[in-house]
Structure 1
Amino acid sequence: MINGAYSSVRLTLFKHGAESFLAALDEARIPHGPILTYSTGPQASGLVEAITALSDAMPWNAIAKVVVAWIEARKSREISISTEAGETIHAKGYSVSEVQLLLQKSINVVIIDTKPNEET
């Protein structure tokens, strides 16, 4: 999401995807941090992280490269990008430039790997 002064990508990480995706961000030197949420009702059990930067300094291309490489590394991986317009796009099969454009319009990015790292 772009907001004049800053840009932010909200990541919701499920199952076995959290550790490996965050490690991929770290390897690409993309800073991220947890978002702590509190609720009186039940919530999904995903881990929520955010990548936030000044709009001009947001590493859109680097994030898109991580997304595409992470998906392509294993068949069990999926990333869904939800946009402000209410669309949900599954990033599998998209190019880095296409993912970059989608990320700029995102309100949430869901990362999931259905298999543990030990399995292929």
Structure 2
Amino acid sequence: MSTQKCELVHLTLFKHGAESFLAALDDAGIPHGPVRMYSSAPKNSGLVEAITALSDAMPWNAIAKVIIAWIDARKSREVIIYTEGGESFHAKGYSASDVQKLLQISTNVAIIDTKPADEQ
């Protein structure tokens, strides 16, 4: 019986960022899937995706590189990483290795693009 734990990166995709960010994950070969959330009260309007893997198989570095490349492609993009300690970090300006470390202690990652793909 394995004693490895399962790791999870919880992504909440807002505005116009969902399609392009999920495509970037697909291009990098990072498997992800939707999380269905049900509630009797209104919730935020973001789509929720998750990346899960056994701790040894989680592609932390690849996810961090996708985040950095995705942000750098357009000025209207932002990624905010929320940690277990209640802190939030805007990934813009961080290196891939810094983002990788933050992802490992994240509780949620907000993916935001404020402009549609056809707008610069």
Mapped pair 1:93 → 2:116: no
SS of structure 2 residue aligned to 1:108: strand
Match of 1:19 in 2: 19
Q: Distance in 1 between matches of 2:36 and 2:84?
A: 22
**Unaligned regions of 5+ residues in structure 2, if any?**
none
SS of structure 2 residue aligned to 1:115: coil
Alignment RMSD, CA only? Answer: 0.6
Report the alpha carbon displacement of residue 5 of structure 1 after superposing the two structures with TM. Answer: 1.0
**Unaligned regions of 5+ residues in structure 1, if any?**
none
TM-score, with structure 2 as normaliser: 0.96
> How many residue pairs are counted as aligned between the two chains?
117
TM-score, with structure 1 as normaliser: 0.96
Q: Distance in 1 between matches of 2:7 and 2:44?
A: 25
Match of 1:45 in 2: 45
Match of 1:61 in 2: 61
- Write out aligned runs for 1:74-89 (5 A): 74-89=74-89
- Greater than 3 Å deviation, 4+ residue runs: none
Mapped pair 1:111 → 2:111: yes
Q: Residue deviations 1:63-105, cap 9 Å, x none?
A: 0000000000000000000000000000000000000000000
SS of structure 2 residue aligned to 1:68: helix
Q: Distance in 2 between matches of 1:79 and 1:60?
A: 15
Q: Distance in 2 between matches of 1:65 and 1:55?
A: 18
Identity of aligned residues (%): 72
